[in-house]
Amino acid sequence: MLTRRNFVKVALGSMTALPLVGCSSQAASDFGTTSDGGSSSDRIATVNWNAGTSGNVLLTIANAKGYFDEAGIKINMVQANANSDALTMLSTGKTDVVSNAGTAAPLQQIAAGQDFTIFGGHMLTGCMPIIAKKGTTWNGVQDFIGKKVAANPSYFALTGAVMDLGYDDPLTAVDWQTYTDYTEAMAAVVRGDADYALMGTGQVQAVKNSQDVDIMCYQSDIMADYSCCRMECQGSWLEENKETAQKLLVVLLRAQAYYEANKEEAVSLHAEATGTDDDYVSAFMLDDHYQVNVDPLRASVNRAWDILDETDFLDEKAKQMDINDHINTELYRSALDEAKQSYGDDYADFFTKMESFYTEQNIDTQTTQPASSCCV
């Protein structure tokens, strides 16, 4: 039986034991002037960024199209071996922005006392299939009850959907099985050691080509707009670099607008940037379940925080905290206004959509999606 408080303590403790790799000694708040000693408007802000091994397609586009250069920002990519490693580097100032460490892990770190602030986003929903042996019939998340599911129960979209069925304790309603990686989880389904398994976005091509498993649904079918990966930084860094942070968000909004209008091109750009091929990237990027969004997602992050707290995956200190103190939507609101003014003529429909989504997620939180919307 998994003990939840111990699970959190072990997970958080292991983060401090991981080595720091690929770190730059230059702080993001350092500015270098142009060679001719130009004015402050000519200065370049260097931001140390961890985007995981799968990369961030909005960074890819912004770099390829020169958007960062136009904004006077240099992105220094900092490598890490795992999400926990990236967050360790963030907590020690070895990197300034982390965009690919999910949502649960940063929230667990905040609950444990880290001064992290969510101020933007990467993936709104990943293309994360739930698989079973070929020929399995899927009736909805109720099929998890009493079954062996190869997924980390800190994945709040799944446990939240189980709670929506009326189960107060989703960790006992489902036999959650944990494996070291998605490949092992898929193998467990094939062997019959697990009934279902959650796969990562990077496994979509392999799953779709498998002769042994079928896709039952996707994590975003079970919980709409669940928040796959938010962008976080240290709160102190954000206070000292508000102008740079807002510029980052404007660049990313411009890149998202371009991405949504040019996904085929984005596939090739991202495949080259990540050292993969077009078929691998298109398997998830051209699937409608893969959604990127720069919005900080106050409502979805609050929902995730509540589910993690109810399932005891947050430190006990979380009960005395307001997660909204660690979500900054003001900079994004200003960036959205600036980006719309600068690029709205070219992407009018995109900015109309983003305005509406901002209101839903950050203003009128009563209109957000219900926790569970199970596919059948």
Would the pLDDT of 23 be above 60?
no
Q: How many angstroms separate the CA atoms of 340 and 363, rounded?
A: 19
- What six digits make up the tokens of 104? 């649960």
pLDDT greater than 50 at residue 27 = no
Average pLDDT, the chain: 88
The model's pTM: 0.87
Buried b (16+ CB within 10 A) or exposed e, 302-336: bbbbbbbbbbbbbbeebeebebeebbbbebbbebb
The Cα–Cα gap between 120 and 97 comes to 10
Q: How confident is the model at residue 45 (pLDDT cuts 50, 70, 90)?
A: very high
Confidence of residue 80 (pLDDT cuts 50, 70, 90): confident
Is the pLDDT assigned to residue 40 strictly greater than 60? no
pLDDT of 76 = 96
Confidence at residue 325, expressed as pLDDT on a 0 to 100 scale: 97
pLDDT higher than threshold 60 for residue 150: yes
Instruction: With a cut of 80, say whether residue 241 has pLDDT above it.
Output: yes
β 129-133/31-32 pair status: unpaired
Q: How far is CA 124 from the centre of its chain?
A: 7
Return all residues near 47 (Cβ < 8 A) that are at least 6 apart: 28, 73, 74, 75, 76, 96, 97, 244, 248
pLDDT band at 124 (very low <50, low <70, confident <90, very high): very high
Distance CA 110, CA 113 (A): 5
Pure H helices in the chain: 4-17, 57-65, 67-71, 83-91, 104-111, 156-164, 170-173, 182-191, 204-208, 219-222, 235-240, 242-261, 263-274, 278-285, 298-310, 330-343, 348-358
Answer with the residue of higher pLDDT: 19 or 205: 205
Sign of torsion over alpha carbons 18, 200, 300, 174: negative
**Measured CA angle at 157 (ends 359, 193), to 5 deg:** 160
Instruction: Place 82 in a pLDDT band, splitting at 50, 70 and 90.
Output: confident
pLDDT at 53: 84
Phi-psi region of 102 (alpha: psi -120 to 50; beta: other; left: phi over 0): left
43-57, 241-255, 305-319: segment of lowest average pLDDT: 43-57
pLDDT score, position 44: 87
Return the structure tokens found at 167.
């189960």
How does residue 375 score in pLDDT terms, banded at 50, 70 and 90?
Answer: very low
Q: In which band, very low, low, confident or very high, does the pLDDT at 8 lie, cut at 50, 70 and 90?
A: very low
Q: What is the pLDDT of residues 325-347, one digit of tens each?
A: 999 999 999 999 999 999 999 99
Q: What is the pLDDT of residue 95?
A: 97
The pLDDT value recorded for residue 54 is 87
At 365 the pLDDT is 58
Structure confidence by residue, pLDDT tens digits, 180-198: 999 999 999 999 999 999 9
Q: Confidence band (pLDDT; 50, 70, 90) for 18?
A: very low
For residue 42, what pLDDT is reported?
A: 59
Least confident interval from 54-63, 77-86, 158-167, 174-183 = 77-86
Structure confidence at residue 258 as a pLDDT band (50, 70, 90): very high
Q: How confident is the model at residue 84 (pLDDT cuts 50, 70, 90)?
A: confident
User: Of the spans 11-15, 17-21, 103-107, which averages the highest pLDDT?
Assistant: 103-107
Q: Is the pLDDT of residue 22 over 60?
A: no
